[in-house]
Amino acid sequence: MLDIRLLREQPDAVKASLARAGVEPQLVDVVLGFDEQRRALLFEVEQLKALRNTTSKEISTLKDAAIRDAKIAEMRTVGDRIAILDKQVAEVEANQMAAILELRNLPHDSVPVGPDEEHNVVLQTIGTPRQFDFAPKPHWELGESLGIIDFERGVKISGSRFYVLKGMGSRLQRALIQWLLDLHGNQGYQEVYTPFVVKELSLWGARQLPKFRDNLYHDAEEDLWLVPTAEVPVTNLHRDEIFDASQLPIHYCAYTPCFRREKMSAGRDVRGIKRGHQFDKVEMYKFVHPDTSYAELEQLRLDAEESCRLLGIPYRTKILCTGDMGFASTKTYDIEVWAPGQNEWLEVSSCSNVESFQARATNIRFRAEAGAKTEFVHTLNGSGLGIPRTMIAIMENYQNPDGSITVPDVLRPYLGGIDTIQPYTRK
RNA sequence: GGAGAGAUGGCGGAGUGGUCGAUCGCGCUCGUCUUGAAAACGAGAGAACUAACGUUCCGAGGGUUCGAAUCCCUCUCUCUCCUCCA
């Protein structure tokens, strides 16, 4: 959520910034129109309340019944007027809030301008794609022939976009989660385990609502929502809290499954485990001092890249253009890994600075020094990493001609020391 | 699921219609004392909007009243006991 004062004081700068992201800027004027109405109403109603407060105190000291009754009668009409104005204020406020929540965050000046993903800029490509002396297979073929991914039974149990991992498939996923949490722990992120279902308020705080309502699973009976990313519970961890500056920065990592209805991408990426309704992810999240948030973003990106590097998978880093960035983000890096079997780059991480966008919506503040005015913290989030796509990259990059998969060195201790994934044999 | 109790400032806990944005204790900050610390003593401090005056906030929402932390209604949450369950 944007700062209303920023809109009030620098409307043209805000509009220009939104225009860079391809957003029609009229909404700014709508918000400001409500703001003006609201403040005019507040001015009137607050004066009346001041009058009522002083007069009410006066009434309690009045001895003369006639004067007293006259004052009470007078205040009764004032009270009626206040009730009407209060109602109007609430209405205008709700309209203003609804309008300002529609506004996306302002892109940082360093972000390239462009309408869509075609205008994202590749910053670096690390690692050389392996040269195969056989035709590399896509992971769905490898997974089925090894018996570690079962698509048909996933669909039987839960429908399309669900799959079952078996044997070493399941273990590989578990190993990846644990290895990533350990790695990020060593990078200074404190591990947290959060609920996987949240109240609606938490989704507003992480700014998933109102925009992504159609992508969320909702339990109507309990009015709870399945998390689409760990970002949601972790953002809300410190809702309504005020930090001392000395407590910042706070770095967390969290594993959660993520649940997404994927209504927007119906029919896309239906093959394999690239885009399921349920997938696992390890997420990194930071609460930081505003002065450091862009330096923290660079480090966040390096920390995510580190996991790709250690896995020995070719990857590239992109900076997203203004039109392709997420709603809440001011600057986003995507990290993509190479998947030779399906011949494409797969997004495994998205690292964003959202500045105070979520902190304002969740009321997370800090005090620069004792007695100082509170300020909103900046928050950042980055995947580290999305598990299924990382599994795809491992399977496709490390595949052997016989269909087996070599286990990356760093994961071997997490898989009982084995070096190759072979078809299951009963013990 | 059944029965009961409760929700007040960082924490504990007063406050049952006006003098309450709220007694007090702990904790916190600053000062005095001390080589330093502790102790003692003194002073200070809630949040939001506002240029300011002022307004709002005692779980949330609504109501009664000239006036509500205090009375009424609804909701949410927490705790205790029983039941059930990993």
What DSSP string describes A295-354? Answer: HHHHHHHHHHHHHHHHHT--EEEEEPPTTTS-TT-SEEEEEEEEETTTTEEEEEEEEEE-
User: Given this model, what pLDDT does residue A120 score?
Assistant: 97
pLDDT score of A404: 97
What is the residue type of A256?
A: T
Q: Which amino acid is at A64?
A: D
Q: Could you check whether the bond before residue A385 is cis, i.e. omega within 30 degrees of 0?
A: yes
Closest CA to A16 of A106, A120, A99, A115: A106
The candidate with the shortest Cα–Cα distance to A143, out of A173, A103, A105, is A173
Distance between the alpha carbon (CA) of A74 and the C1' atom of B18, Å:
18
- In 3D space, the residue among A168, A58, A119 whose CA is nearest the CA of residue A414 turns out to be A168
Residue in A321, A340, A320 with CA at minimum distance from that of residue A382: A320
Query: What element of type H or E holds A421?
Result: strand A420-421
Q: A380 has which bridge partners?
A: A286, A353
**What radius of gyration do chain A's Cα atoms show?**
27
User: Is the CB of residue A6 inside 7 Å of nucleic acid strand B?
Assistant: no
Kind of pairing between the strands at A190-192 and A250-259: parallel
What DSSP string describes A193-252?
A: ---SEE-HHHHHHTT-TTTTGGGS-EETTTTEEE-SSTHHHHHHTTTT-EEEGGG--EEE
CA A50 to C1' B48, in angstroms, rounded, equals 18
- What does the pLDDT read at residue A1? 87
Distance CA A287, CA A190 (A): 12
Confidence check on the interface: ipTM exceeds 0.90, yes or no: no
Q: How many residues does chain A have?
A: 427
pLDDT at A177: 97
Q: How far apart are CA A386 and CA A384, in angstroms?
A: 6
Q: Which two tokens stand for residue A14?
A: 């805000």
**Residue position matching structure tokens 């004027």:** A29
Per-residue pLDDT of chain A (427 residues; tens, 9 = 90+): 899 999 999 999 999 999 999 998 899 999 999 999 999 999 999 999 999 999 998 888 887 888 888 889 999 999 999 999 998 998 898 889 889 988 999 999 999 999 999 999 999 999 999 999 999 999 999 999 999 999 999 999 999 999 999 999 999 999 999 999 999 999 999 999 998 988 888 888 888 877 788 899 988 777 788 999 999 999 988 888 888 888 889 999 999 999 999 887 767 777 899 999 999 999 999 999 999 999 999 999 999 999 999 999 999 999 999 999 999 999 999 999 999 999 999 999 999 999 999 999 888 888 887 777 888 999 999 998 999 999 999 999 999 999 999 999 999 999 999 999 999 888 8
Question: What's the whole-model pTM score?
Answer: 0.92
Q: Is the CB of A63 under 7 A from strand B?
A: no
Nucleotides of chain B in contact with protein CB (under 7 A) are 18-19, 28-29, 45, 47-50, 52-56, 62-63, 65-67
Q: Are A233 and A194 in contact (CB under 8 A)?
A: yes
DSSP states of A90-156 as a string? HHHHHHHHHHHHTSPPPPPTTSPP-SSGGG-EEEEEES-PPPPSS-PPPHHHHHHHHTSEEHHHHHH
CA of A148 to C1' of B4 (A): 54
Strand B–CB A70 distance below 7 A: no
CA nearest to A351, candidates A375, A324, A384, A314:
A384
CA of A86, C1' of B20: distance in angstroms:
24
